[in-house]
Amino acid sequence: MSAVDAWLVAVRAGHILACLLLFGETLYVRRIDPQARLRVRLTIGAVAIALVCGFAWLCIEAVAMSGESLQVAVLGTVLGATQFGHVWLARSVLLVMLGIAACMPRGRRAALPLAGLQLALLALAGHAGAASGLRRLAEVLVDAVHLLAAGGWLGSLPALAATLASTRSRETILRVTRRYSQIAYAAATAVVATGIVNARFRNAGPVELVTTDYGRLLLIKLAFVVAMLGLAATNRYRLTPRLAQPDGRALAALRRNAWLEIAFGIVVVAVVGALGITPPPMMGMSHGMH
């Protein structure tokens, strides 16, 4: 992997993480813990990271697309004349609107739809956006659901961890973890289902998982997703029922698991950053092409 590729993976991963966090945070305050308030500084910070990483992503793509050095004219052509550029512009506007909405008490109702739309539109910037006709519609929809479900699960974990760390009321913790558990269960199911369909769209069958670069990366991602599912299942079926016990051990384990799940999730998104620049397997070919 060249230095430019490494940067591209890093800024893609940084951008995607910030966008997942924005959706998860806004979902958390609207649907999981209505008593929690949107953390304005965190939201603005995530918008800033998403925009900075997004701009770096645009610059690296512009150089790769044109084969020339970075020039304003090339950026203009990418923004004005390519699907990637159009999607980039629309999503950047949505991110700025989200940042503004977060600052205004009355604007916060708009935060969740804005965060959801900017995340879902990311589906048009990747492999799914390149198909044509009905196939394209199917691929983009599946990928958009995948992104939203990942945001609902992983993106809302920091808000849950913050609640677990700061809340003393056992009743609140019970209510919030039960509600989170319901939403994360649905989101994790959707992540896995759409992930399998996505892999099928990319021709990544059982053989390609082992024989191609794309497949091997996907396997690493899968391993960490399975670890996250294991933690989520432990939280839901073992720890949450024991929260009512007075010794507080279940709560301590829940707190630790939330952070562990976040750490695994960051690894997953880092791999996603690399998957986006790795050619998916070709039918009947066992080697990745570069």
Partner 1 sequence: MRAFAVASLLAVAPPLWAHAFLDRAMPAVGSTVRDPPARVTLRFSERLEPAFSKAQVLDASGRRVDNDDASVSGDDAAVLSVSVRALPPGVYTVKWRVLSVDTHVTEGDFAFTVAGR
CA distances from 73 to 35, 55, 65, 125 (A): 49, 15, 13, 21
In the complex, least distance from residue 262 CB atom to partner 1, rounded to whole angstroms: 29
Q: Which CB atom, from 83 or from 286, has the smaller least distance to partner 1?
A: 83
Q: Report if residue 14 touches partner 1, rule: CB under 8 A.
A: no
Residues 6+ apart with CB under 8 A from 225: 191, 192, 195, 268
**According to the binding rule CB under 8 A, does residue 211 interact with partner 1?**
no
> How would you label 189-209 residue by residue, b for 16+ Cβ within 10 Å and e otherwise?
ebbeebbebbbebbbbeeebb
Stretch that binds partner 1, among 40-48, 100-108, 172-180, 195-203 (CB under 8 A): 195-203
> 19, 125, 157, 188: which one contacts partner 1 (CB under 8 A)?
125
Segment near partner 1 (CB under 8 A), from 14-22, 96-104, 132-140, 181-189? 132-140
Residue 127 DSSP code: G
Options 23-31, 119-127, 145-153, 238-246: segment touching partner 1 (CB under 8 A):
119-127
d(CA 188, CA 56): 30
Instruction: Please give the residues from 63 up to 102 whose contact with partner 1 meets the rule CB under 8 A.
Output: 64-67, 77-78, 81-84
Contact with partner 1 (CB under 8 A) among 132, 166, 206, 247: 132
Whichever of 202 and 236 has its CB closer to partner 1, that residue is 202
Cα–Cα dist 19/238, whole Å: 31
Query: Which 3 state secondary structure label does DSSP give 279?
Result: coil
CB atoms within 10 A of CB 288: 18
Q: Least CB distance from residue 222 to partner 1, whole Å?
A: 19
Give Cα separations from 24 to 94, 149, 158, 159, 242 (angstroms).
Answer: 16, 9, 8, 8, 26
Q: Please report, for the chain, how many H helices and E strands are present, in that order.
A: 12, 0
User: Smaller CB distance to partner 1: residue 4 or 252?
Assistant: 4
Instruction: Compute the least distance from the CB of residue 233 to partner 1, in Å.
Output: 27
Name residues contacting partner 1, limited to 148-187 (CB under 8 A): none
In the complex with partner 1, the residue whose CB is nearer, 113 or 129, is 129
Residue 59 CB, shortest distance to partner 1, in Å, is: 13
- Do the Cβ atoms of 158 and 39 come closer than 8 Å? no
Of the candidate residues 37, 170, 178, 200, the single one contacting partner 1 (CB under 8 A)? 200
Query: What does the binding site for partner 1 look like in residue numbers (CB under 8 A)?
Result: 61, 64-67, 77-78, 81-84, 125-132, 134-135, 138, 197, 200-203, 279-280, 282-283, 289
